[in-house]
Chains A and B, each alone.
Chain A
Amino acid sequence: MIIVNLDVMMAKRKMSSGELAKRLGITPANLSILKNNHGKAIRFSTLDKLCRILNCTPGDLLEYREEEEGE
């Protein structure tokens, strides 16, 4: 499964959810969906903005983890 490590990057860059949501141009509710891995997909445009704002690469934000049994 794909894990979004947005909270880790936000902590590294010392950026609040509200500020990131504002700069991304999305609602805090949608950012929360993304942060808590409840999202179904991420647009390239959103990923592009995230990388630019947080000064990182998609690899820093997304991680592949082997799915555990029964998950």
Chain B
Amino acid sequence: MKTIGKKSLSSAVYHLLWVLLPLGVLALLASSVWVGLELHDLFLEQTVVVFPVLAIVGLAWLSGICCCLLLWQLIGIFRRLREGNCFTPDNVPPLTRSAWCLWGIGVCFLGVCVALFCGAGMQVVFTFFLSLLGAAAFLLLGAGVRVLSELYRRAVEYKLENDLTI
């Protein structure tokens, strides 16, 4: 299977990302309205559960922004892969930014864990551990992508040096 270039796996992923990004942005915009209305109602109720719910909703929204930013970075990377430019320095900053986005999502998950623990204690133990698992996964993935971006940067340097060795 062809992985890089036109009519390849990277090209298919590129098109898929272009479908996902507008959907993500639309979902984010639509949820903003919904979240705004829900928060307004919650404020009016003034119950003790308001703070954790506020935090969870806010963090979920923040992680949505991180996801959209991640998709945007991936579009840039896959566009260059589709064009056949693998080891170009332009791919390094988006990879680093992708790592930051993943860390952002991980931190949001951690925040959700804290909010769940503070708000509901061990009543939502399954959701709590699921969020904790999500946080660990995204933080680890972010670390992996950050290391990968550094490796990529070095690979680009080696390629440049190799290209200019006559």
Taking Cβ atoms with an 8 Å cutoff, the residues of A that contact B are 26, 30-31, 33-34, 38-43, 46
Contacts and interface: CB of A to CB of B under 8 A. Distances in A.
Interface residues of B, number: 5
Contact of B161 (A34, A41, A46): A41
Interface of B: 160-161, 164-166
B164 to A, nearest CB: 4
Contacts of B161: 40-41
A31 B161 CA distance: 16
A41 B161 CA distance: 8
A63 B129 CA distance: 67
Nearest to B161: A40
- Taking each of B160, B164, B165, B166, which has the highest tally of chain A beta carbons within 10 Å of its own beta carbon? B166
B165 A43 contact: yes
A28 to B, nearest CB: 12
Nearest to B163: A40
Query: Which 4 interchain pairs have the tightest Cβ spacing?
Result: A40-B164, A41-B165, A34-B166, A40-B161
B144 to A, nearest CB: 31
23 contacts: A26-B166, A30-B166, A31-B166, A33-B164, A33-B166, A34-B166, A38-B164, A39-B164, A39-B165, A39-B166, A40-B160, A40-B161, A40-B164, A40-B165, A41-B161, A41-B164, A41-B165, A41-B166, A42-B165, A42-B166, A43-B165, A43-B166, A46-B166
A21 B144 CA distance: 44
Nearest to A31: B166
